[in-house]
Amino acid sequence: MSEYAPDHRRVPAQPCPACGHTLDALTQADAEATEPPEPGDQTVCFRCTTILVFGPLGALRVADPREISAQALKVQADLQAFHLRFPQGGEAP
Residue range 83-92, pLDDT digits in tens = 888 876 555 4
The candidate with the shortest Cα–Cα distance to 51, out of 67, 60, 62, is 62
Number of domains comprising the chain = 1
* pLDDT for the residue numbered 60: 96
Q: Is residue 33 part of a domain?
A: yes
pTM of the predicted model as reported, rounded to 2 decimal places? 0.77
Range of the domain at 30: 9-85
Answer whether 34's CB lies under 8 Å from 9's CB: yes
For CA atoms 68, 58, 83, 64, the dihedral sign is negative
Q: Is residue 90 part of a domain?
A: no
Average pLDDT score, the chain: 82
> 5 falls in which pLDDT band (50, 70, 90)?
very low
